[in-house]
Amino acid sequence: MALLSMCLPILPGKKDKWQQMMNSMNEASSKPEMDKVREEAGVHERTFLQETPNGDFIILTFEGENPAESFGKMMAAMQGEFAEFVLDVHGLDMNGPPPPLPQLVYDSRA
């Protein structure tokens, strides 16, 4: 399995909105639908909250056969209200081209 990790800011003043969305995504009525998008894209996603003195970030990990391709599939599948949320809270336009993906610069087992 391959792994892709990325970090996105939570824009100033948007943490409460982000937390409400995470709560909603984890509700029993919403989680199966959210999980299905990831499953259909061929990836296992984990989302972490990183709070820092300079602002809050989310750290996303995508694990699968081709996580970069899966991320693109997810961006294409999650339009409408979710795309508006991502643009408002993280500044990422899901209707545009994917952002530059992170580059691995150190691996203790390589």
54-77 residue pLDDT tens? 999 999 999 999 999 998 888 888
Overall number of domains in the chain:
1
Whether 95 is covered by a domain: the verdict is no
Cα distance between the two ends of the chain? 15
Is residue 29 over pLDDT 80?
A: yes
Answer with the residue of higher pLDDT: 33 or 12: 12
Residue ranges making up the domain that contains 63: 2-90
Give the predicted TM-score (pTM) of the model.
0.88
45 within domain boundaries? yes
The more confidently predicted of residues 79 and 14 is 14
Q: Is residue 108 in some structural domain?
A: no
The CATH number of the domain holding residue 86 is 3.30.70
Contacts of 65 (CB under 8 A, 6+ apart): 1, 2, 42
